[in-house]
Structures are given as structure tokens and as C-alpha cells.
């Protein structure tokens, strides 16, 4: 298939997909793979051993199991927020670019307003009133990260709308819906994918920061929460590297993988580079 060929032809995308794919599988199969119950208490501050691969934390929970379960939360937040942001961004960008005129001005004005809303302080503010849970975080991240996507999509749609093939399809009698779905959307798809992956990365980082600041959902295990507890309960001070290093490493690795995909896909959507990559 075309997608498979693209992935295999580009080592950057391939490694990115591999990294994110492994984390994805872990997140899905976490329940089976976990050697211990990450919520169960036991002997605290154990060093890595055969029984506890990465040791235990301050209340004796198995860090390896926490890590596996945490990947689920982190990826869930990342991907949900990514989907939310991209759906909004693509919708607004396509409408604005395709319709033009007043609608374009209104939508882009709105985009500019949202663009300046800082996500982190907004979440901090909201958690004062609402009890923090992951869906709140997803909603906030999703609702503030779409403007960038919308702008990029709009500008791309503006060029595609002018292109010969859209015009000739219109002359064949195609209506707006047809043009959007059959010509414009497929041509902005690589861009959408690239932007989606970026938003996912940003969302994962933001989740980690929020959790680290103590604004995360305490009833879930996530990499950010693990870091927070490692910091708050003396993991850093005592030099228990097996406590704070793995979640940090996982976040970094996961984002690296996403970035790889994004770069590769973006290069592919650049028409000047595309010719080269298509060969």
C-alpha cells in the first residue's frame, strides 16, 4: 500500500512509527504485561531487582508496572487532544480557505484570538474551579492548539483552490462538497498528519507539565504523575534514578518518535521534496 511504501522508504518516518508503535502496543496491552498491580502497596524504595525490574516507589508500588500503565494515560491524552485539535483546525481552516471573504475574515479573527490564549495558565485557572481529570486536560489542550493547524490548512487550501485541477473539476460540474472531499482534503492530508503528530507531542508534554505541577488527575497513573511523586517524595534527592529517569526517558523518546514522523510527513507534503521522495 501507498502508506506502507512511504513509511518504508523514509528511514526517519520508519523509526518514528516504530517508536510510537511500540509505545502504542504497550499502552494497549498494559493490563497483560504488568508484572504487579501498580496501585498495590508493598515494600518502599526497593532498588531494581528481578522481582521489581525498576524497583518500587515511596509506597512500594512497582515502578515498571506504573510506567506501563502510565503510557496509556499519556498516549490517550496526547492522541485525544490531537484529534480534537486537528478536527477543529481542519474544519475551520478548510471553510475559511475555501469560502474566503467575510467568513474567512471572521474565522481567522477568531483563530488569532485563540492563538494568544496560553494553554498552561488556562488549565491552572480551570483546575481551581473544576476537579482535575484527564478529559478536562484533553479538552483544554485540544481547544487551544487548533489555531496553528487552521492557519496552515487555510493557506494550503487557498493555493489548492486556485489550482487547475480544482477549477477543472468545478467546470465538470462538481459541487463544493465534492471538491473539498475529493480534491482538497486528500491534498492537505500530509499536512494534517504532520500537524496532528505535532499537537500530540505538545499535548503529551503539557500533560506531563501539568501533572508535575500537581494539577494532574491523582486517580490516574501517568508519566507526569510519576515524575511529580518522584520529585515530591524525595526520589531526586536520594538519587533513586530508577524512579525518575524512566518516565522522563519515555516522554522524551515518545516525543522524538512523533517528531520524526512529523518531519518525514512534512517533507513529503512539500511539493519540491515530494518529487524526490516519490521515486
**Binding-site ranges for another protein (CB under 8 A):** 163-165, 167-174, 178, 182-183, 186-187, 275, 278-279
* Cβ proximity to another protein, 41 vs 165, nearer residue: 165
Distance CA 19, CA 21 (A): 5
Closest C-alpha to 262, from 95, 82, 80:
82
Q: How far is the CB of 171 from another protein (least distance, A)?
A: 5
Distance CA 128, CA 132 (A): 9
- 56 DSSP 8-state letter: B
- 46 DSSP 8-state letter: P
* Cβ proximity to another protein, 128 vs 172, nearer residue: 172
Q: How far is the CB of 265 from another protein (least distance, A)?
A: 14
* Cβ proximity to another protein, 2 vs 50, nearer residue: 2
Distance CA 192, CA 269 (A): 10
Q: How far is the CB of 155 from another protein (least distance, A)?
A: 18
Whole-angstrom Cα Rg for the chain: 22
For 25, other C-beta atoms within 10 Å of its C-beta total 12
* Cβ proximity to another protein, 179 vs 261, nearer residue: 179
* Cβ proximity to another protein, 124 vs 169, nearer residue: 169
* Cβ proximity to another protein, 187 vs 211, nearer residue: 187
Kindly report the backbone phi and psi dihedral angles of residue 234, in degrees, each rounded to the nearest multiple of 5, phi listed first: 85, 15
Q: How far is the CB of 278 from another protein (least distance, A)?
A: 7
- 181 DSSP 8-state letter: I
Q: How far is the CB of 110 from another protein (least distance, A)?
A: 22
| Residue 130 falls in which region: left (phi positive, over 0), alpha (psi -120 to 50) or beta | beta
Q: How far is the CB of 170 from another protein (least distance, A)?
A: 7
Amino acid at each position: 500500500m501507498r502508506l506502507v511504501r512511504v513509511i518504508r522508504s523514509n528511514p526517519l518516518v520508519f523509526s518514528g512509527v516504530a517508536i510510537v508503535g511500540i509505545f502504542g502496543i504497550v499502552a494497549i496491552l498494559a493490563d497483560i504485561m504488568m508484572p504487579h498491580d501498580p496501585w498495590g502497596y508493598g515494600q518502599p524504595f526497593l532498588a531494581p531487582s528481578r522481582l521489581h525490574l525498576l524497583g518500587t516507589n515511596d509506597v512500594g508500588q512497582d515502578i515498571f508496572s506504573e510506567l506501563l500503565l502510565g503510557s496509556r494515560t499519556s498516549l490517550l491524552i496526547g492522541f485525544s487532544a490531537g484529534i480534537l485539535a486537528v478536527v477543529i483546525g481542519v474544519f475551520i481552516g478548510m471553510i475559511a480557505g475555501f469560502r474566503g471573504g467575510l467568513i474567512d475574515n471572521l474565522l481567522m479573527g477568531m483563530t488569532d484570538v485563540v492563538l494568544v490564549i496560553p494553554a498552561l495558565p488556562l488549565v491552572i485557572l480551570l483546575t481551581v474551579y473544576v476537579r482535575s481529570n484527564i478529559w478536562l486536560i484533553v479538552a483544554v489542550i485540544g481547544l487551544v492548539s487548533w489555531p496553528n493547524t487552521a492557519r496552515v490548512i487555510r493557506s494550503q487550501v487557498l493555493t489548492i483552490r486556485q489550482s487547475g485541477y480544482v477549477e477543472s473539476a468545478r467546470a465538470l460540474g462538481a459541487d463544493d462538497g465534492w471538491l473539498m472531499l475529493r480534491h482538497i482534503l486528500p491534498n492537505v492530508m500530509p499536512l494534517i498528519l504532520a500537524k496532528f503528530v505535532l499537537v500530540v507531542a505538545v499535548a503529551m508534554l503539557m500533560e506531563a507539565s501539568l501533572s508535575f505541577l500537581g494539577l494532574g488527575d491523582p486517580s490516574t497513573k501517568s508519566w507526569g504523575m510519576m515524575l511529580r511523586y518522584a520529585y515530591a517524595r524525595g526520589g531526586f534527592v536520594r538519587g533513586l534514578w530508577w524512579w525518575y529517569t524512566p518516565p522522563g526517558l519515555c516522554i522524551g523518546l515518545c516525543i522524538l518518535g512523533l517528531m520524526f514522523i512529523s518531519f518525514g510527513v512534512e517533507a513529503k507534503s512539500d511539493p519540491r521534496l515530494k518529487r524526490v521522495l516519490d521515486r
